[in-house]
Chain A
Amino acid sequence: MIVSPSVEVERKTPFWKKLGRVPWTWRITIGYLTVMLFIPIIAMFLKASTETPARFWAIATSDIALATYNVTFFTAIFAALLNGVFGTLIAWVLVRYDFPFKRLIDATVDLPFALPTSVAGLTLATVYSDNGWIGSLLAPLGIKVSFTRTGVAVAMIFISLPFIVRTVHPVLQEMEHEIEEAAWCLGSSQWQTFWKVILPPLFPTILTGVALGFSRAVGEYGSTVIISSNTPFQDLIAPVLIFQRLEQYDYSGATVIGIVLLSISLILLLAINFLQAWARRYDSR
């Protein structure tokens, strides 16, 4: 998938004469993408291929690596699914109801897009620490958030929430109110209307949002590295492990785990495209 455009370029430019006919906008686009994106990705795969498959597998599935995947993916899935529920609820509230400060609340949903991740990590770590505003309420219950895996989950929830809200919001806005009213007229309860009329066409959209949020949460580094204690087998996440490997000048170790993360990003990207195509089916009806 990554290689196809450069193949296309090669096909287009076997002769230098033909290159002259390619519009310069295309040349800048392809040139910039090649330098910034294609060469780095190829370099990483080539670097990984200098390892024998057996060694690659050994690094990729070492105990510490498996533990970081476990922490990263399950925490990210938890965060994305929780946001799938609450993000949809927030989008629903913003589309359907009128209440004071609605515009302000709508605008601030995007805060995690605009707030630098290290600031997010700093303030989340403080608020959810044992003597922080929220953490001090949870501490008597025996719940520690900052510097544990729960803290990583909080950071991932923070970072992925707007993806779900902003994906569901426009679709919900375009949904016709008449269908719901028809369902009510035919005698279905609000609960039935929600489960049988509203949710089914919305479901692919919610899944798209969850996948986008999950993808972001898996790769997140800035906020998670600050709120986590980065203890192996407890709350060490895969991006931090890459960073630590690099700090130890273990380039092949970093690359192998980087390849695992990159491959998952690419698979997720495909899945998201598929989900979006699925969601669009409902548009044409």
Chain B
Amino acid sequence: MTVDKPSFHSSASVSDTAKPLKEQKSWVPIALIGIAIAYLALVQYIPAINVFVQAFSKGFSPFLSNLTQPAFLHAAWLTLLLALIALPVNTVFGLCAAWAIARHKFPGRAIVLSIIDLPFSISPVVAGLMIVLLYGRNGWFGPWLQAHDIKIVFAFPGMVLATAFVSMPFVAREVIPVLEEFGKDQEEAARTLGAKDWQIFLRVTLPSIRWGLLYGLILTNARAMGEFGAISVVSGNIADKTQSLPLFVEDAYKQYETEAAFSAAVILALLAVVTLVLKEILERKTSIKDVE
């Protein structure tokens, strides 16, 4: 690719042979780049910059005082906790699923892959609805849960279920292609040399899939911390109790506390920036450029 070359002019084309043709119409690339950037600016850049400008519009100290409000701190803590639970659970599932799918040839493999992807296609609100229908008061497990005094819907466990649901496929999705590319040879060699299953996993498989796995973890984390729809349905959105950070943002906005909303939004936007930076670093390491 031409990335490492210094680019002085936008009409620099990928192939030298195409140059004479391109030079005749050098306004075409410039116009196309202009349209692309203008579109991105309208849809993404201006709204993204707006988050930071609005949060700091009255200076730094109101921003800080917003971030020390108990409601905000509780929401941030809850968000962290949700990610801390969803992440390991989905990692174990993702690794098992990836192993099972990448290491076995069986009929209906494509169907299993589609099934693992299902949580991406299901609307978050529908995901939340399904949890309510199962664990809510009138749900399947409702009577049993009530008899044992366990609260899932409108409480923390329901939020965990919702978070785990929406962030389920990432690890498996990112690890499967890496595992397939890596192949079985080294694992089989380790086995003939007498290694046990867990030794093979820790010493042979894990090191080779580590970047793909990390990539999956980052995406899982971003989704888990940022999920709104599914959690909104199952949590009841009770301030100081079942309000995660994305819910706090919406709630504050609805109560016309725009500054508090944007202060919290900045924290979530920074999470997004960190995610994108790590993603970029890992993509360079693994050259995975797959779509979600």
**Interface positions of A (Cβ within 8 A of B):** 1-2, 4-5, 8, 23-26, 28-29, 32-33, 36-37, 39-41, 43-44, 47, 86, 89-90, 92-94, 96-100, 102-103, 105, 107-127, 132-134, 154, 157-158, 161-163, 166-167, 169-170, 177, 180-181, 184, 190, 209, 212, 215-216, 218-222, 225-226, 239-240, 242-243, 246, 251, 254-255, 258, 261-262, 265-266, 268-269, 273
Contacts and interface: CB of A to CB of B under 8 A. Distances in A.
B99 A25 contact: yes
A105 B37 contact: yes
Q: By DSSP majority rule, is chain B's interface helix, strand, loop, or mixed?
A: helix
A269 B120 CA distance: 10
Contact of A99 (B10, B48, B168): B10
Interface string B87-114: 0000011001101100000001011101
A213 B15 CA distance: 32
A98 B5 contact: yes
B150 interface: no
Q: By DSSP majority rule, is chain A's interface helix, strand, loop, or mixed?
A: helix
Interface of B: 2-3, 5, 7, 10-15, 17-18, 21, 25, 28-29, 32-33, 35-37, 39-40, 42-48, 50-51, 54, 92-93, 96-97, 99-100, 108, 110-112, 114-127, 129-134, 136, 138-140, 161, 164-165, 168, 219, 222, 225-229, 232-233, 245-247, 249-250, 253, 258, 261-262, 265, 268-269, 271-273, 275-277, 279-280, 289-292
Nearest to B53: A133
A246 B46 contact: no
A108 B182 CA distance: 29
27 contacts: A2-B118, A29-B93, A32-B97, A36-B161, A37-B118, A40-B134, A43-B130, A93-B33, A96-B13, A97-B13, A98-B2, A98-B14, A115-B226, A115-B269, A116-B245, A118-B268, A119-B51, A119-B226, A119-B246, A126-B50, A170-B289, A190-B28, A219-B122, A239-B123, A258-B130, A265-B121, A273-B110
